[in-house]
Amino acid sequence: MMNTIFTPPMYIQRYEFVIDFVKKNKPKKVVDLGCNDCTLLRKLKFHREIELLAGLDIDSAVIRDKMYELAPIPTDYLQPGDHPLTIELYQGSVTERDPRTKGFDLVTSIELIEHLQLEEVDRFTEVVFGYMAPVAAIISTPNADFNPLLPGLTGFRHYDHKFEWTKAEFQTWAMKVCREFGYVVAFTGVGQIPAQEESIGFCSQIGVFQRDRSGGDATRLQSNVTEEHLPYRLLYNVVYPSLCDSNIFQRTLVNEVLYWAETLRREWLEETTGEGEEESKQTDEEEEDCSRERMEREESQTGEEQEDRERVEADGRGFEVENEEVEVQGRTDRGQEEPYREGQSVCVSLVRLWSCPRVQALSGTVQRLTEVLLEDSRVQLTNDGTAVVLADSDDEDLEWVETCDNTGTGQFLVSSVENEDWETELG
């Protein structure tokens, strides 16, 4: 079996190649041609530098089967991105030109072209590099030179393959693309057997195309298409929550303020009077319930998607745990702007709250923070507008728990308009 030859499997290595390219080059608009069951798209959606993520496949059934897995999950509402992510899925042929596919930073075509007739490859080439004219394109296809190394393989790797190029044939096609459409290409791939001769190359060969800014006619076909003609059928469209939405921005900032105000109040009470221990225990239990509910929801994701999210958050998006450690240490060191009592309430200064990195990043200035809080009925400020007032009672704590339990149940914009072979083994 192929899994005994390559670890991780080939399909994962191909996807990881694309993900590494995205992490390095940070494209804002990405389209995957031949997206199939949207596996690559589900991985890419966690990379928040992407603003538009599109997929195209000729088979609408395979898209519909998995497309709702691209919908936002609760953590997308708890931690909205700085900009909205739009995901669009289309049914159509890669040999047709649709104006909605122009202007992308990256086009991916992973193990697709070998399913086309040779005469269709020329059309595919014109559409991708002449009409779509992306900044970059990643094209992968099986390497026929590698086939003799695959145990038991006779013929092509998949019953639907119309051809499989050798290393020389693939590079000949790629160099022709560069000459005709103004690109430069780097050849690489995934899947090698170290004991074999290097000249054989990779199991899956990859061409990474970059538009040559120094010359080349990358737009010569655009004048020959009627822009109103839209051959692709939109199957799915979703817009993720983001801080660009004023309501989401205000809700996110207020939730952060209330969370840190309550945290500071509890710590101050414990340090000064020994109060708050019982309510702290109660709040911790409630937070554990929230965490348990969130974990149960995220367990519905595949293991690979969960690993992708954890990896992206570890790269800097999951700021909470790390920042909390920094903030707690920072509060210990500063010692100023401490909470104080005012009647039966505890007041936490806005200056102190603003010093929390996440609050500061969202609001920018104390003045802006004050303006936002004045507009929100969930927040009570002192008469001079310099501190948040927290009632020293259980009812207020319960109100906060309800407020912070935002599990993403709010509305989001969404609309929905067998043979075993070597391709399966190669992933």
Starting at the edge strand found earlier in the chain, the sheet holding 340-342 runs 340-342, 345-349, 387-391
Same domain, 165 and 182: yes
Do 79 and 211 lie in a common domain? yes
- Examine the domain organization and report whether 132 and 207 are in the same domain: yes
Reported as a single tens digit per residue, the pLDDT across 229-244 is: 899 999 999 999 999 9
Question: Are 325 and 400 within one domain?
Answer: yes
**What residues make up the domain containing 253?**
246-404
* Measured distance CA(316)–CA(293) in Å, rounded: 24
Same domain, 279 and 230: no
Confidence at residue 271, expressed as pLDDT on a 0 to 100 scale = 87
Mean pLDDT of 189-211: 85
If asked whether residues 233 and 311 sit together in one domain, one would say no
Cβ proximity of 205 and 167 under 8 Å: yes
Q: Which residues contact 29 (CB under 8 A, 6 or more apart)?
A: 50, 51, 52, 54, 103, 104, 105, 106
Based on the domain organization, do 150 and 33 belong to the same domain? Answer: yes
Mark whether 176 and 197 lie in a shared domain: yes
Higher pLDDT, 149 or 329: 149
Q: How far is CA 105 from CA 26, 102, 383, in A?
A: 9, 9, 51
Of 169 and 75, the one with more pLDDT: 169
Q: What is the mean pLDDT of residues 259-288?
A: 73
Residue 344 is predicted with a pLDDT of 87
187, 161: one domain: yes
Are residue 359 and residue 313 in the same domain, yes or no? yes
**pLDDT at position 335:** 43
Same-domain pairing of 251 and 228: no
Q: How many domains does the chain have?
A: 2
Q: What is the CATH number of the domain that holds 194?
A: 3.40.50.150
Q: How confident is the model at residue 7 (pLDDT cuts 50, 70, 90)?
A: confident
pLDDT digit string, tens, across residues 34-85: 999 999 999 999 998 999 999 999 999 999 999 999 999 998 888 898 899 9
Range 212-220 contact pairs with CB under 8 angstroms and sequence separation of 24 or more: 212/178, 212/182, 212/183, 212/184, 215/182, 216/181, 216/182, 216/183, 217/181, 217/182, 218/129, 218/130, 218/133, 218/181, 218/182, 218/183, 219/130, 219/133, 220/130
Q: 321 and 271 in one domain?
A: yes
